[in-house]
Copies of this chain bind each other. A is one copy, B any other.
Amino acid sequence: MATFCGSRYNNNELVNDKGIVMNQPKMTDVAKKAGVSPTTVSRVINRRGYLSTKTINKVEAAMRELNYRPNMVARQLQSQRTMTIGILVPTVANPFFGELTYKLERDFFNAGFKVLIGNAENDVEKERLYLQQLLARQVDGLVIATHNHQQQIPEYQNANLPIVSIDRYLRASIPNVSSDNYAGGRLATEELIARGAKHIIHTDSVERFNKRDYLRQQAYQDVMNEHGLTPVTYKIDFGSQPELMRQFFNRILDEHPEADGFFASNDMDAIQLLQTARQREIRVPEDLQVIGYDGVPTTTRIVPELSTIVQPLDEMAKVAVDILQREINGERVTGSHNLPVRLRASASLKQ
């Protein structure tokens, strides 16, 4: 009996130890070897219909002997389902999206789906290319967590495919999963005030096409106003080049020596500020209290002293997966699904 150990692939052919070329076995090969029809083999594989134990054994032996693996592509063409989901993120190299992707993939895997990943890199054209590919019946559904301007991507308007977006509006009929950005902004600001901060600076990355950061900023301003304090927001409108970041935060601290509180719209910015503060020998939290945003486990492990608003990534993934499955099953789902955030208070805040 030929063994496939040490076999080599060569395009679509198998070369066994004796150098005999043989194609990848298909169902008819198994059927022939087991002395049954292809249909029977299919039935054994899918455990459908009534089958005699003898047939099952014969077929399974033949499959094992041939090292047979059903061709998923053929099955997909027949069933009109790929059991595959496409996920579009800016980049999995970013810990936030790495964590999100991990959790999405995990939950989809448990639900029987595979995951195609696309790093759109804040590049509208790349996002369009991915979409065009994925819309070609390659996937049963789509999770969109990128941050490009959807207006420039017409594919979203006539995408005939279940989609769920994360923290982003695409179009009215596409459901969205977010965490409660307004509540997060309020929580951060209120905590700083409750701990005695009066001169609180807020930084925000520019995401023109996303209400997300706007809501965090809006909440910050509302709370400041409610307390008779003056809101000061700085927009980060450059990338995240360390040198520019350093200059930026130094400028803020130069312009606001009175600052005793700081709320950054994401943890990376908050961490950058902590570094700047340390260099300037500003004591945290005594002189300056700091809250970031996101609370990704990896980041928290590296910088445990940073207080932050934690987004419920676990729940967000679960809800997104659930919504997409319902859409795939023909259910109509729309609207925004807002999940609660929580504060992780640590050493960058006073007791």
Residues on A lying within 8 angstroms of B by beta carbon are: 4-12, 14, 24, 67, 69-74, 76-77, 80, 82, 84, 91-95, 98-99, 101-103, 105-106, 109, 114-119, 121, 126, 132-133, 135-138, 157-158, 160-162, 173, 240, 242, 268, 271, 275, 297-299, 301-304, 327, 330, 332
B69 touches A77 (CB 8 A): no
Collect the chain B residues with CB atoms within 8 Å of residue A103's CB. 93
Contact among B11, B99, B119, B301 for A330, CB-based, below 8 A: B11
Closest residue of chain B to A67 (Cβ to Cβ) is B158
A158 touches B98 (CB 8 A): no
Expressed in whole angstroms, the minimum distance between the Cβ of A75 and any Cβ of chain B is 8
Collect the chain B residues with CB atoms within 8 Å of residue A77's CB. 71, 73-74, 77
Q: How far is the CA of A121 from the CA of B110 in the complex (A)?
A: 13
**Interchain residue pairs with CB less than 8 A apart (19):** A5-B158, A6-B173, A10-B330, A69-B132, A69-B137, A71-B77, A72-B138, A92-B92, A93-B95, A93-B98, A93-B103, A93-B297, A105-B119, A106-B119, A114-B118, A114-B138, A115-B116, A302-B302, A302-B303
Collect the chain B residues with CB atoms within 8 Å of residue A71's CB. 77, 136-137
Expressed in whole angstroms, the minimum distance between the Cβ of A273 and any Cβ of chain B is 12
A8 touches B114 (CB 8 A): no
Collect the chain B residues with CB atoms within 8 Å of residue A69's CB. 132, 135-137
Expressed in whole angstroms, the minimum distance between the Cβ of A98 and any Cβ of chain B is 4
| Known pairs A102-B92, A117-B115; A24 contacts B268 (CB<8 A) | no
For the complex of A and B, the 4 pairs showing the least CB-CB separation, nearest first, are A98-B98, A93-B102, A72-B136, A4-B158
Closest residue of chain B to A79 (Cβ to Cβ) is B73
Collect the chain B residues with CB atoms within 8 Å of residue A10's CB. 330
Q: How far is the CA of A275 from the CA of B301 in the complex (A)?
A: 10
Collect the chain B residues with CB atoms within 8 Å of residue A73's CB. 73, 76-77, 82, 137-138
Expressed in whole angstroms, the minimum distance between the Cβ of A96 and any Cβ of chain B is 10
Collect the chain B residues with CB atoms within 8 Å of residue A115's CB. 116-118
- Among A24, A98, A162, residue most surrounded by chain B Cβ atoms (within 10 Å): A98
Collect the chain B residues with CB atoms within 8 Å of residue A138's CB. 72-73, 114
Collect the chain B residues with CB atoms within 8 Å of residue A135's CB. 69
Contacts A98-B98, A117-B117, A302-B302 given; 20 further ones with Cβ under 8 A? A5-B157, A8-B173, A24-B137, A69-B137, A70-B136, A72-B133, A72-B137, A73-B76, A73-B82, A93-B95, A93-B98, A93-B101, A93-B298, A94-B98, A106-B119, A109-B126, A115-B118, A242-B304, A271-B302, A299-B302
